[in-house]
Amino acid sequence: MTARRSSRAQETIENVRNALPKRVWLYIGVICILSSISIQFIAPFVQLLLTNSLICLNPLVNDNIKKVYDCIGTQNLNQQRSTLFKKTNSLQKITYFAEPFPVEPWVNDEEEFAETSDLRLSVIPRRPISPIPDPFTEAEAIAALQLAKKSRERGNNRKAEVIIEHAFALAPHHPDVLTEYGIFMETVRNNVIEAEGLYKKALNLNPSHSEALIRRAKTLPLVEEIDNNMFREIRKKREIFLKIPRWNSGLKRAMRESYFQHIYHTVALEGNTFTLGQTRSILESKLAVAGKSIIEHNEILGMDAALRFLNQTLAHVGSITIEDILAIHKRVLGFVDPIAAGYLRTTQVFVGSFVPTAPEFVRQELNELIEWLNDEETLRIDPVELAALAHYKLVYIHPFIDGNGRTARLLMNFILMQAGFPPVIIPVEERGKYYITLKSANDGDLRPFIRFIAKMTDDSLQSFISSASICDPKDCPENGKIGGTDSTSKVIETN
């Protein structure tokens, strides 16, 4: 029975085969092959296109999911950058090694600078200090304060110094202690800048403190004059620097060395353990250094990419945009964390006791910063002060999960380079002062941080000027004169 059924099935198949022409079987084979190719090669692209479009265009989809599909691509940024290059096609193309400075230097007479105190207050939000005083500690501090005051009035300054520093350590946020410490700094140590800063802190805590009001009214004009002289001397050095011929061999060596120095110090500030020699080695040879983590290698490669982008692209354009900041960060963090690189954070972060901007307000505050940086009134601020303010504001917003400090220092150098200054290096040896002045800015006084950046700018200028005065005889036809003037005498004049 089974054999009979099997033979009938075979007969049926043979009948079907005989009924169909051979050409039809050929068509079926071709269709099967084409269908297989379509499923394997074309379908994935169609699926990716549809999925990407549905996710990117859907406002209900979470931003973290959109990141995976790269909804915010780089095509628009590249098109914008191409347009900007067309606008600046008359400028000479430069590179960081050969010429890391703007082609058209910033010019402005010192009389045209705006009074920036009001502008500074409007852009930088203040977070009030809310210390929780310990009544026993505060009582001890007040008792020490009275003893210090009596010792100072009797002329026993050494004893007064020890006691007032003890009181300050016990109650650093007490207006009376801050005021008395300021009086000591002003009258005994003759440090008007430090004294005025202490009076200001006291007034931030108690705006009606009579002694602090009287003392600050006296010291503030002196401090403002000191700061104005500081910026004036920096501008003089900048003019000397801009007169140095770009073919000067000493300047070329200094520029090349500053590139490695910049990368080494800026990643070292964040805890990278590479030495300067190892940093130089990985950048020149692209070979890994034994005993160092992959993350540390990638931090250096990211800074290298960001510096080249800054020099070859941003240094030529005018107004900075939020896309430019994202592009800088994308290169800074691109080798370490490609998913987070170039994207604003969507979670809350904490930096010690400092709480940055909430994630839902990050883009808004970043847009406000960009608008402020491009405002006509803002552009009247001294470029060194403006660069410091931009650096602090970006760190204050803390728009990224990681790489905020490195991005802020690159933004600072972008502003300085457009104004005719060389890139500024913050040495890792100055890390303590760097973070102390940032904390002071968080507490409401930005001037210590501005003075710190001004000092670093002055050091960078002096380093380039000094390097340019040491050049080959063939590059110094006028025996040490730079740009037709005696560089040595001018450097001495500006010190």
Residue of 173, 297, 391, 398 with catalytic role: 398
* Most confident residue range from 104-118, 135-149, 431-445, 479-493: 431-445
Percent of the chain with pLDDT over 70: 68
Q: Are residues 472 and 341 in the same domain?
A: yes
pLDDT for the residue 106: 37
Q: Is the pLDDT of residue 54 over 90?
A: no
pLDDT, mean of residues 248-267: 91
pLDDT at 333: 93
Nearest to 123 by CA among 467, 401, 391, 480: 391
Q: CA distances (Å), 303 to each of 269, 297, 427, in order?
A: 13, 10, 15
Classify residue 479: in a domain, yes or no: yes
Looking at residue 475, the DSSP 8-state letter turns out to be: G
The answer to whether 281 touches 289, Cβ cutoff 8 Å, is yes
pLDDT at 96 over 60: no
Residues 352 and 454 in one domain: yes
Which has more confidence, 267 or 484?
267
Is the confidence at residue 89, as pLDDT, over 50? no
Maximum CA pair distance of the chain?
130
Q: Are residues 430 and 336 in the same domain?
A: yes
Q: Is 434 annotated as a binding residue?
A: yes
- Domain that residue 59 falls in: 18-68
Q: Is 11 within a domain?
A: no
Tokens 């599909």 appear where? 69
Helix (H) or strand (E) holding 486: strand 485-486
- The confidence score (pLDDT) of residue 134 equals 65
Mean pLDDT of the 62-72 span: 49
DSSP 243: T
- The answer on 85 and 184 residing in a single domain is no
CA atoms of 11 and 25, how far apart (whole Å) = 19
Select the highest-mean-pLDDT range: 98-112, 290-304, 460-474: 290-304
Residue 256, marked binder: no
Question: What is the rounded average pLDDT of the residues 187-202?
Answer: 90
Using CA atoms, how far residue 477 sits from 242, 465, 487, in Å, is 18, 17, 13
Q: Is 404 flagged in the annotation as binding?
A: yes
Answer yes or no: is 8 within a domain. Answer: no
329 is catalytic: no
Q: How many CA atoms lie within 13 A of 326 on its CB side?
A: 20
Best mean pLDDT range from 134-143, 247-256, 326-335: 326-335
CATH number at residue 143: 1.25.40.10
Check whether 391 has a pLDDT greater than 90.
Answer: yes
Which band of pLDDT confidence, cut at 50, 70 and 90, is reported for residue 490?
A: very low
Q: Which amino acid is at 57?
A: L
Residues 363 and 479 in one domain: yes
Model confidence band, residue 159 (pLDDT cutoffs 50, 70, 90):
confident
88/227: higher pLDDT: 227
Report residue 473 as tokens: 């005889």
Query: Is the domain of 46 the same as that of 164?
Result: no
| Cα–Cα distance, 165 to 204 (Å, whole number) | 20
- The total number of structural domains in the chain stands at 3
Query: Looking at the structure, do residues 367 and 482 belong to the same domain, yes or no?
Result: yes
Q: Is 70 annotated as a binding residue?
A: no
Question: Distance between CA atoms of 102 and 421, rounded to whole angstroms?
Answer: 8
In the structure, what pLDDT confidence band is assigned to residue 110 with cuts at 50, 70 and 90?
very low
- Residue 52 is assigned to a structural domain of this protein: yes
- Tell me the average pLDDT of the chain: 77
**What is residue 1's predicted lDDT score, i.e. its pLDDT?**
56
**Residue found by looking up tokens 């007479």 in the block:** 109
- 406 labelled ligand-binding: yes
Give percent of the chain above pLDDT 90: 39
Point out the least confidently predicted range of 7-16, 298-307, 408-417: 7-16
Residue 479: how many other CB atoms lie within 10 Å: 7
Is residue 234 a part of any domain in this protein?
no
pLDDT at 68: 42
Distance in angstroms (rounded) separating the CA atoms of residues 149 and 164: 8
Q: Report the pLDDT averaged over residues 51-58.
A: 58
Read off the pTM. Answer: 0.70
pLDDT confidence of residue 152: 83
Could you read off the pLDDT of 196-224 as tens digits, one per residue? 999 998 998 889 998 999 999 999 999 99
Instruction: Establish if 484 belongs to a structural domain.
Output: yes
**194 and 107: one domain?**
no
Reference 341, options 349, 333, 351; nearest CA is 333
- State yes or no: 321 annotated in a binding site: no
Of the listed ranges 38-52, 221-235, 310-324, the least confidently predicted one is: 38-52
pLDDT of residue 343: 93
pLDDT in the model for residue 40: 63
Asked whether residue 233 is assigned to any structural domain, the reply reads no
**CA 156 – CA 56 distance, rounded (Å):** 72
403 in a known ligand binding site:
yes
Question: Does residue 80 sit in the same domain as residue 150?
Answer: no
Q: Is 405 annotated as a binding residue?
A: yes
Give yes or no: residues 139 and 118 share one domain: no
Comparing 194 with 476, the larger pLDDT belongs to: 194
Count other Cβ atoms within 10 Å, centred on residue 453: 24
Same domain, yes or no, for 363 and 475? yes
Grade residue 382 by pLDDT with cuts at 50, 70 and 90: very high
Q: Where are the alpha helices (DSSP H) in 206-313?
A: 210-242, 249-268, 276-285, 294-312
Averaged pLDDT, 458-481: 70
Q: Given pLDDT bands bounded at 50, 70 and 90, which one contains residue 137?
A: confident
Select from 432, 428, 424, 429 the least CA-distant residue to 462. Answer: 424
User: Which distant-in-sequence residues (6+ apart) come within 8 Å of 134 by Cβ?
Assistant: none
pLDDT digits (tens, 9 = 90+) for 286-344: 888 899 999 999 999 999 999 998 887 765 567 888 999 999 999 999 999 999 999 99
Q: Is the pLDDT of residue 346 over 60?
A: yes
Per-residue pLDDT, 14: 65
- Residue 263 has which token pair? 């990368």
Structural domain contains residue 110: yes
Q: Looking at the structure, do residues 91 and 216 belong to the same domain, yes or no?
A: no
Mean pLDDT of 438-452: 91
- Return the CATH number at 89: 1.10.3290.10
